[in-house]
Structure 1
Amino acid sequence: MEKGDSLTALTRSQVDRLVARSGDLKSELVAFAQNPRFARRLDARLDEAADRLGFLDEATAVETIDHFALQYRLPDGSTVVERFVAQRRPPLPQDERAMLLGWRDVVEGIFEIQGLDRSTAILHNLLDDLVYRVHSNMGHRALGKLRKGMFVAARIVPVHPDTDAWLISGDLTTYSPGDGPELAQVAAQTLAVHPQLLRRNPEMLRQAWQMQAEARADFIELFGTDLLVLDPGQAQLRLRDYHRHRQDKALAELDDEAASRARDGGPSPDELSSLPEDLLDADTVAVICDATEGICYYGDFGRLDALFADPALARDRTHLAQLRQYLNDDSVSPMVIRRLVQRHPANADAVFRALLRKPAFTWERDGEELLRRRKKNHFVHEPLPSITPVGARLADLLRAQRRHRR
């Protein structure tokens, strides 16, 4: 897919004028972000970056200030760039106001350079599999060091919401073509941690949901259920069976040459079936293959399942303590609590009355409000698939990286 191959509402001369103007406005914005009124918050962001790396180099400082100016949310929910546009005197013309506010839509990516001319670079983002036509407000000087086939890590922003042209925001970090396989591994890890990057590419998002539905159907086909409660050792054996089943099914659909490449390039069922280390000492592990959240694992689920099966166990405070931990731990999805209720609907009221010490509590009336209050962060954004597909180019680079490691 391509993003940035044509301009829409603005003419090319208007875009060129905005690109030329963007340099001065960006300098004003950065100076505004470094105003003493924001110093405490900006210094905290810079200290965090330094602690994360062990030092603060110029490139990291530039990136941190850029993120602070465009994306950091101030206590009232606004961003620094929104404050700048509102307070700037004299007021900016409408097209320049729209340009700066459009800069909140940042794309951070690992890009392969597909083409160059004096004023633009054609960049293919390995993360979202989209192509961007990117300008620099420093002109040929900034793009002169780039060559087709190289890779860059960069932040880009739209020139204006009514164009498909983009601007470099901050520094470019360049890499040679030979660095592609290693960068692909970084890209794959980034996608796994930040599946929200798929939102920019609706086709990849659709593909991800389809892949997740197929994976769940295979889980249910193999085990007859989408929820297993096992000890950690048995859970890993069942997961290995599942991933081998998935792998065998996928290889059966390929020709011999493609199947050989797939075996060579992908992780083994043993690698895929390893549980997180903190679950290995749990009494039981729930392996849930949920329609929305995909495969996830929860330790000591069996104790809670027993509590909901027999609310009299609430007299044993360890059972209630486990439920309270699930309810208060933000890493535990509301889905897990709902699953316990769905497995034992007749007993949910008694369990929560004992936990909350509220004799009038009913799950039907009060349950969702309880989850929204205790697990606010899970209700902020629309759900995303847990499976993140990769584009063809990223897949090729990942196979090259795995072959090199072996």
Structure 2
Amino acid sequence: MDIDATLDLVERLKRAAVDYALSPGFAKRLEETRGRLGLHADSVENTVEAVESLLFEGSADKEPLLARYIRTNKALDPADRAVYEGWLGRNVFGAFRVEEQNGPELLLHNLIDEMDYRTHATAGVDASHPVPSGGYATVRVVPTHNVWTISGNVHFFKPQEREFVEEYAINLLRQFPRMPFRNPDKLERARDMVGEQHRIFMETLGTPVVLGSGSEAIEAYRSFMEAVDADAAARAPQQQRTPRSGLELAPDGNFPAELRDARDVALFHHPVKSTSFLVGYREAREAHRTPPATAADPAAVRLREYIHDESVPLHVIEDFASQFPDTVDQAYRIAFSLPEFVWERDGGALLLEHKATHVEDADIPDITTVPTSLRGAYLRLAQGA
């Protein structure tokens, strides 16, 4: 399919999705989205902004509307469905530096994943007015076949507004720390880094799971961070920097009072997913070892909390199940009132239901990597916090 035919396809499919979002059945959700985004003025630009958010981002308790459109529209042509699924799964919203412009065609460099996107504007999207090379843009781009097209509003910024755009990019990165991992090289480097840190954790603490009180887990974490810092210093002796203490690397303000004061805490380090603090770990583990008598028992309550709590990583639950294969079925039968439950058969579906994001991102490190070009903005924001 040539570029003109692709752009025609994009325009047709986007118009259908927008018409769906603007239909009367979603008027309330659209107004809620306007309010959440602070788009109170009644303008075309604000409507576009709200529709884009509704289609691609959804809300805390509702899926993106584009996902609903794909799921419920049984008459969709399979080829059109594939394009929509690509938009939903691979759309890129971010802050970009404008490298080149040729009318409505823009070469954009993403400040977060540090990849280039050659984008095209379709009818109804104004990207054709002159933009100085070295200027910036915030925009969403979507893939169709091998073409990236602009979706929604484009906000342009002058080169002298660089600091503002960089700080905007850092705030995006804080909200969505996996953004850099669209770049396969960054993903591979992150995996290598976490794997190396896992080696240091094991050498420093002797076990992947350190048990104790909250304060003891924090002190163990500080020992680990000191070892990581010392290893980094040894790898770059030319920098001649002073080693930092664990308290400097992980000050008290990093830890909530409920963690510091808890009696049952585990510090868990995983070779891909990095570090987790887990309150109630021993109780949850014991529930797998010795199944509770009833669903109301505290151990059963704790087990359910671990399944429902988004902060408890998938690999922790899987580790419990592998430790206690003879009792895991009974533990879940009681805790969830599922008399026929078998972990080997039903565990995956249970985890997918309650930890879908964890399942999808099982091989992606749970760390934030800041591009070198944004470290100045990161430090400015951290110092101003």
TM above 0.5: yes
1:254 equivalent in alignment to 2:240: no
Note the C-alpha offset of 1:182: 5.0
Give the equivalent residue in structure 1 for 2:216. Answer: 234
Which residue number corresponds to residue 136 of structure 2? 151
> Counterpart of 1:64?
50
Is the aligned partner of 1:15 residue 2:8? no
Distance of 1:111 and 1:394 partners within structure 2: 12
Q: Is the 8 A contact 1:30 1:66 kept in 2?
A: no
**Partner secondary structure for residue 152 of structure 2:** coil
1:332 aligns with 2:312: yes
Paired residue for 1:47? 31
What's the TM-score, normalizing by structure 2?
0.75
Give the C-alpha shift of residue 285 in structure 1: 1.7
Give the 5 Å matches for 1:155-304. Answer: 155-158=140-143, 160-161=144-145, 163=146, 165-191=147-173, 193-198=175-180, 200-257=182-239, 268-271=248-251, 274-276=254-256, 278-304=258-284
Offset at residue 203 of structure 1 (A): 1.7
Offset at residue 137 of structure 1 (A): 3.5
Of 80, 85, 94, 1:109 maps to 94
Please state if 1:381 is matched with 2:346: no
Q: Which residue of 2 aligns with 1:5?
A: none
Deviation at 1:323, TM superposition (A): 2.3
Say which of 366, 369, 385 aligns to 2:346.
369
Q: CA shift at 1:127, angstroms? A: 2.3
Q: Distance in 2 between matches of 1:99 and 1:77?
A: 10
Gaps of 5+ in 2: 57-63
What residue number does 1:133 align with? 118
SS at match of 1:154: strand
Counterpart contact for 1:134–1:167, Cα < 8 Å: yes
Alpha carbons 2:295, 2:301 under 8 Å: kept: no
TM-fit CA distance, 1:65 = 1.6
Structure 1's 257 and 50: CA in aligned 2 closer, same or farther, altered over 3 A? same
Higher relative contact order (CA 8 A, sep 6+): 1
Structure 1 distance, partners of 2:334, 2:55, is 49
> 1:199 and 1:145, CA in 2 relative to 1: closer, same or farther beyond 3 A?
same
Distance in 1 between residues matched to 2:338 and 2:91, nearest whole Å: 47
1:53 CA drift (Å)? 3.4
Paired with 1:17 and 1:316, the residues of 2 have a C-alpha distance of 61
Structure 1: gaps of 5 or more residues: 1-9, 88-93
Alignment partner, residue 61 of structure 2: none
Matched position secondary structure for 2:199: helix
Equivalent position amino acid for 1:245 in 2? A
3-state SS of paired residue (2:211): strand
- Residue identity in the other structure for 1:62: V
Query: In the aligned structure 2, how far is the partner of 1:30 from the partner of 1:109?
Result: 21
Q: Is the 8 A contact 2:202 2:208 kept in 1?
A: yes
Question: Once the 2 structures are TM-superposed, how far is the Cα of residue 351 of structure 1 from its aligned partner?
Answer: 4.8
Shift of 1:286: 1.5
Q: Are 2:101 and 2:133, in contact at CA under 8 Å, matched by a contact in 1?
A: yes
Shift of the alpha carbon at 1:133?
Answer: 1.6
State the distance in 2 between where 1:140 and 1:309 align: 59
The number of residues matched between the two structures is 370
| Distance across 1 between alignment mates of 2:184 and 2:29 | 32
Which structure: larger Rg? 1
- When structure 1 is superposed on structure 2, of 237-246 and 344-353 the one drifting more is 344-353
* 1:290–1:368 Cα change, 3 Å: farther
Whole-Å separation in 1 of the counterparts to 2:82 and 2:209? 49
Deviation at 1:172, TM superposition (A): 1.3
Between 1:248-257 and 1:179-188, the stretch displaced more is 179-188
Contact 1:23-1:138 within 8 A present in 2 as well: no
- The 5 Å alignment of 1:78-89 reads 78=71, 86=77
| AA partner of residue 299 (structure 1) | V
8 Å Cα contact 2:142-2:150 kept in structure 1: yes
Residue 307 of structure 1: how far off its partner (Å): 5.0
Contact 2:295 2:335 in 1 (8 A): no
Tell me which amino acid in the other structure corresponds to 1:378: K
Distance 1:97 1:302 in 2: 46
Q: Percent identity?
A: 22
Question: Residues 372-392 of structure 1, C-alpha deviation per residue, up to 9 Å, x if partnerless?
Answer: 326524355252221243444
Secondary structure, aligned partner of 1:128: coil
User: What is the rounded CA distance, in whole Å, between the counterparts of 2:65 and 2:126 in structure 1?
Assistant: 29
Deviation string 1:273-322 (CA, Å, 9 cap, x unpaired) is 82355534433222111234321122122333455566689899323322
Residue 60 of structure 2 corresponds to which residue in structure 1? Answer: none
Aligned partners of 1:334, 1:188: CA distance in 2, in Å?
Answer: 27
RMSD value, Cα: 4.3
Moved more, 322-331 or 307-316: 307-316
